[in-house]
Amino acid sequence: MRIKALFLCKKRIDHYGISVGLINSATFVVNALNKRSIESRLDIVIDANEIDRVVSSFRPTHAIVEAIWVTPDKMRELLKRHPKVTWVIRVHSKAAFIAHEGMAMEWLSEYAQLAFDFKNLRISANSSDFNQELSDTLEVPCVYLPNVYHPEVKQLPEKVADPEIVDVGCFGAIRPLKNQLVQGMAAIRFGNSIKKIVRFHINSNRVESGDGIVRNLRAIFRTTKHKLIEHPWTPHDEFLATVRKMDIGMQVSLSESFNIVTADMVIEGVPVVVSPEIGWIPRAYQANPHDIVDIVSKMVFVHQRDRFAVAKHNRKALDHNNSVNISIWLSFLR
C-alpha cells in the first residue's frame, strides 16, 4: 500500500497570523518524508470543517493533526467518515505548558475514549517523556512522534564581528516558561564580566501571557549600557538571516519538547546555551534555568571557545537527533 501523510495545522484567527512554530515543525517533517519517497503534504485550514475536504481530496493513509484544536465531537465525525485513515492528534508541549490551556486535558481525555472506540486514532507527543506520561495518565497507548529538523537552508554571508559588541539571540514567543527575563539578566551580567556591550535580541510582537516579561526586560536594559533589540516575527528564511548575525544563542527554558529556535542557531553555526530541557544539545552547553551564575558561566564558556568547534559539536548532535527521529517516523508510517 502506498503511504501518504497529510499534516493539518489550524490558521490562527488573531493578529499573530499563522502559528509559525507549528507550521515550521510540520513543514520540516514533510520535507524529510518527501525526501525519503513518502508522499507528504501540509495543509493549513481555517477550521475543522475544512479537514474533511482536504482529506477527501488528498486521500491520505495517515492524517496528523498538529496540536490540540479539533473538538472531540468533530474528531468523532472524521473518524466515522474516514475509517481507513490512521488519525493522529500530535501534542507539541509538555504538561507544564499544557497546564495553561484550560481545555487541553479535558479534550485529551475525550480523545483517549475515542481511541478505545475507534482503532484508527492515535494520541501522540513529540516528547518521549510526556508521551509516556500521557499514556500512563490516559490509560491508552500513545505513539511517540518526535520533531525532525529539515529546513530549506540558503547560503548566507558570515557574521562580521565587532570586538566591542556581543549579539545574544533569545528568540521565540514571549511566555513565562521561556524564562526570558532570567536570561536577559544573565546576559547583562555576562556583558559586564567580559567588559563588552551585549545586544540582547528578542521577538517582541508575539507575546503569550508575557506582557510583563517584555516590560521588565525593557526596564532592566534601560538602566545599563547594554541594549535590548526587539524583532518582529518573520518568515523562516528571513529569521535564519537574523540568527546568523548572533554570537550566542540562548534558550535556557523551563519547559521544552524540542525547540526549533535552538536548531536554527545550530544550523547557522551559532554557539548556544540552553537548559537541560533541550536534551539533544551536548551537556557542556546546558545551564540551570534557575541559576543566573551558572547561565553566565556557560555563556563565558561558549564565548571563549572556538566558534567553529562549538558549531561542529552541536551540528553533529543535531544530525544524530534527526537520524534517530526520522527512523521513528518511518517505522510508524510503514
pLDDT tens string 260-316? 999 999 999 999 999 999 999 999 999 999 999 999 999 999 999 999 999 999 999
Q: Does the structure show a pLDDT above 70 at 13?
A: no
Report pLDDT for 12: 67
| Single-letter residue type at 183 | Q
pLDDT tens string 100-143? 887 899 999 999 999 999 999 999 999 999 999 999 999 999 99
Q: Largest Cα–Cα distance in the chain?
A: 65
Q: What angle in degrees, to the nearest 10, is found between the helix axes of 260-267 and 20-35? A: 60
pLDDT tens string 233-257? 888 889 999 999 999 999 999 999 9
pLDDT band at 14 (very low <50, low <70, confident <90, very high): very low
Report pLDDT for 102: 78
pLDDT band at 164 (very low <50, low <70, confident <90, very high): very high
Owner of C-alpha cell 488519525: 87
What are the structural domains, with CATH classification, of the chain? 4-145 (3.40.50.2000), 165-319 (3.40.50.2000)
Q: What are phi and psi of 312, to 5 degrees?
A: -65, -40
Share of the chain above pLDDT 70, in %: 94
Whole-structure pTM value:
0.92
Q: Is residue 61 within 8 Å of residue 3, measured between CB atoms?
A: yes
Per-residue buried b or exposed e for 94-113, using 16+ beta carbons within 10 Å of the residue's own CB: bbebbeeeeebbebbebbbe
pLDDT tens string 174-215? 999 999 999 999 999 999 999 999 999 999 876 666 689 999
